[in-house]
């Protein structure tokens, strides 16, 4: 099926996995997030890599924009959740 949208689970590979922020939101025992600074560093590294390679895949411009917004929002939500849990 491939990719059908810009969301985190709107492609075959990603749909097979739950993201860390969803697991942590469930307040399951043992679900622990890393420090907020670690998440920010993940975001910086991931987005730099994504930005450097996405155009090689020749995505539609609207997909590129929407997907980038989803990625940034996901990392930001994860960092916010970690900050709340660590407070």
pLDDT tens column, 21-54: 566 666 656 667 889 999 999 999 999 999 999 9
- Three-class SS state of 18: coil
Task: Establish if 1 belongs to a structural domain.
Answer: no
Task: Establish if 39 belongs to a structural domain.
Answer: yes
Provide the domain count of the chain: 1
Task: Establish if 3 belongs to a structural domain.
Answer: no
Q: Half-sphere exposure of 78 toward its Cβ, with a 13 Å CA cutoff?
A: 24
Asked whether the whole model's pTM tops 0.75, one would answer no
Task: Establish if 4 belongs to a structural domain.
Answer: no
Instruction: Name the token pair of 60.
Output: 């539609």
Domain holding 72, by residue range, is 12-86
pLDDT tens column, 52-71: 999 999 999 999 999 899 88
């Amino acid at each position: 099926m491939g990719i059908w949208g810009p969301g985190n689970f709107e492609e075959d590979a990603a749909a097979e996995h739950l993201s860390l922020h969803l697991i942590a939101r469930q307040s399951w025992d043992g679900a622990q997030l890393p420090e907020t600074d670690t998440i920010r560093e993940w975001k910086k590294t991931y987005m730099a890599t994504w930005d450097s390679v996405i155009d090689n895949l020749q995505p539609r411009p609207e997909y590129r924009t929407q997907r980038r917004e989803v990625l940034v929002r996901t990392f930001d939500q994860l960092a916010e959740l970690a900050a709340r849990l660590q407070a």
